[in-house]
Amino acid sequence: MSRPRTRPCWIRIAARTLASALDDDAFTEIWAWLSHDHQDALQALIKAEPCTLTVHDSRTTIQWTAHPVRYLKLSTRQGINLPACMEEYAQPQEQRE
């Protein structure tokens, strides 16, 4: 199976940004994930499985989830010029055949 085109780096950026505002236990949990546990998330995405990072702070719980996506339908917008490929890719490959 091929590797996902993008890594869940947005989760890593958000976690790194919030880490300093959390209590010591949550900070440690996030840095462990950032240091090596994020590799498990990458492997899950490669297997077409979702991955989740949940951090419990003394004041709140924060959860990030990434799902592999094979197809995103173009949204319908009125009054805005859509790309020329909109009609060609309006449905997933399986539905076009």
**pLDDT, position 44:** 87
pLDDT tens per residue across span 39-91: 888 888 888 899 888 999 998 999 988 888 777 666 666 656 666 666 665 55
Task: Supply 50's token pair.
Answer: 């979702």
For the entire predicted model, the pTM comes to: 0.58
- Ramachandran area for residue 59 (φ above 0: left; ψ -120 to 50: alpha; else beta): alpha
Kindly tell me the burial class for residue 12, based on how many C-beta atoms sit within 10 Å of its own C-beta (0-12, 13-18, 19 or more).
middle
CA 23-25-31 angle, to 5 degrees, is 100
